[in-house]
A and B are shown apart, each in its own frame.
Chain A
Amino acid sequence: MASLDDLKKRISSVKSTQKITKAMKMVAASKLRRAQENAEKGRPYSDKMNNIILNLSNSISDKENSPKLLTGSGDNKVHLCIVMTSDRGLCGGFNTNIIKKAKSYFQKIQDEGKILKIMTVGSKGYDQLKRAYKENIIEKISFKESKNANYFDADKVGKIVIDKFEKKEFDVCTIFYNQFKNVITQIPQEQQIIPLKASETEGNSSEDNYEFEPEEDEILSNLLPKNISTQIFKAMLENSASEQGSRMSAMDNATRNAGEMVDKLTIQYNRSRQAAITKELIEIISGAESL
């Protein structure tokens, strides 16, 4: 049985932990609002972009000569996976969920005998993957310095990806991120960005006759690299909203658990205090009786 002093110390330590988790929850909540707003504001751009590309690729007549970013390199051997995670921990299952999803995909690829290359964005992903997939990781990027997800960073990642694609370092590129649904649910997503998957570009494929200036191919080859950056940016925005949401609920839980623990410890403390008093009383009474 722990002594009264120990219990007292324990209670105060749990209480200060609770204060910290509570503060983190508050911070996450206010950041979440901003991140969520940003994620929602960013959606029209990527949706529009997708739409335009869909319209373009529909109207391209010469499918064989269309840009490689759209149709792929014709091979399916080397897969590049971009795993997007956060730079900070203490956000519940946020990173673990992405990693889990990514790992099952890695397994599938390796089982099929294809070559796997990994690029991690965010330091937590690298930390978790480096043990099992050290030799597969070709690049690790982290944006610890930038406070919010911004397009500039996404563009940097996009440029690296395109550069590698042009050097024929991979054939298929997939990104992994958490889609923000609401504060308690974030869905880990895998999205293939090179070659562009037809299923994602469904939407309203109405047969519009567009006029193009300059030629379709030229527009497409200008647009597709931008689309890569845009998709990565979207993933970053979704991720940052998810991260804050996940952290908020994790910290909320932690605060609640700490509260429960304090209650339990307080009861234990009071009981042992009473037991000590009772014991002392008995000693006094029995001492008096024996006289």
Chain B
Amino acid sequence: MSEGFKLEIVNPESSFLLKEGVSEVVVPAFEGDMGILKDHISIISFLKPGLVKVFEGTNEEIFYVDDGIVEFKNNCLSILTSNIFNIKKMDKNIVRDALAKAEQETKKNDISDQNKYLIDQKIEVLKNLTLN
């Protein structure tokens, strides 16, 4: 038996990442961050804006996602997301733009509580990113 499980990240335009033998993935699930290890129970959940951390042995890769759905089944983790960036390759300017946009959105009065929660999350994550 291999040590890890299979990870597949797809966005509408393409298959973003396909990896075998991942040891742990931390996803920003809607109700809190969730670490997924091998032989996790089958689960479906959706994501809030945040960071996806992929551990592969001692390697660690971090991605930023806007939203998404995760499905884990038979040791295969699929993440569907419409917007994903690798943190290392992410342009600071893009982060700032996204942050400004999100901040503008919170100022609107007619957003639902859930949307507000999501946007607040987004702002927090993006702010942290700009600091680094």
Known interface pairs A48-B71, A48-B78, A213-B31; A223-B13 also in contact (CB < 8 Å): no
Known interface pairs A213-B29, A213-B31; A44-B44 also in contact (CB < 8 Å): no
* B-side contacts of A51, CB under 8 Å: 71
Comparing A84-92, A110-118, A203-211, A276-284, the segment that makes contact with chain B is A203-211
Known interface pairs A52-B71, A213-B30, A219-B46; A41-B82 also in contact (CB < 8 Å): no
A151 part of interface (Cβ distance < 8 Å): yes
- Which residue of the partner chain, among B12, B42, B82, contacts A42 with CB atoms under 8 Å? B12
Task: Indicate the size class of the contact surface on chain A.
Answer: 20 to 34
Q: Identify the closest chain B residue to A42 (Cβ).
A: B12
The A36-59 residues at the B interface (CB cut-off 8 A) are 38, 41-42, 44-46, 48-49, 51-52, 55-56
| A264: min CB distance to chain B, Å | 47
B69 part of interface (Cβ distance < 8 Å): yes
Q: Identify the closest chain A residue to B71 (Cβ).
A: A52
A230 part of interface (Cβ distance < 8 Å): yes
| B121: min CB distance to chain A, Å | 15
* B-side contacts of A214, CB under 8 Å: 30-31, 45
Contact B13 A212 (CB under 8 A): no
Q: Identify the closest chain A residue to B15 (Cβ).
A: A44
A17 part of interface (Cβ distance < 8 Å): no
Known interface pairs A208-B73, A213-B30, A213-B31; A45-B11 also in contact (CB < 8 Å): yes
Total interface residues on B, CB under 8 Å, equals 23
* B-side contacts of A226, CB under 8 Å: 69, 82
- Which residue of the partner chain, among B12, B46, B73, contacts A223 with CB atoms under 8 Å? B46
The B17-54 residues at the A interface (CB cut-off 8 A) are 29-31, 34, 41-46
- The majority secondary structure among interface residues of chain A is helix
A185 part of interface (Cβ distance < 8 Å): no
Contact B69 A52 (CB under 8 A): yes
- Which residue of the partner chain, among B10, B31, B46, contacts A48 with CB atoms under 8 Å? B10
Contact B43 A212 (CB under 8 A): yes
Contact B13 A150 (CB under 8 A): yes
* B-side contacts of A41, CB under 8 Å: 13-15
How far apart sit A222 and B46, CA to CA, in the bound complex (Å)? 9
B80 part of interface (Cβ distance < 8 Å): yes
Interface centre among A150, A154, A155, A226 (most CB of B within 10 A): A226
A233 part of interface (Cβ distance < 8 Å): yes
Known interface pairs A49-B80, A222-B46; A211-B12 also in contact (CB < 8 Å): no
Contact B44 A212 (CB under 8 A): yes
Contact B41 A211 (CB under 8 A): yes
The A187-244 residues at the B interface (CB cut-off 8 A) are 208-214, 219, 222-223, 226, 230, 233
- Which residue of the partner chain, among A38, A42, A213, contacts B45 with CB atoms under 8 Å? A213
* A-side contacts of B13, CB under 8 Å: 38, 41-42, 150-151
How far apart sit A51 and B73, CA to CA, in the bound complex (Å)? 12
A-B residue pairs, 7 tightest by C-beta: A41-B14, A151-B12, A213-B45, A211-B43, A45-B10, A210-B42, A44-B10
In the assembled complex, 21 residue pairs joining A and B whose CB atoms fall closer than 8 Å, in A order, are: A41-B15, A42-B14, A44-B8, A45-B12, A46-B12, A52-B44, A52-B80, A150-B13, A151-B12, A151-B82, A154-B12, A155-B82, A208-B73, A210-B42, A211-B41, A211-B43, A213-B29, A213-B45, A226-B69, A226-B82, A230-B12
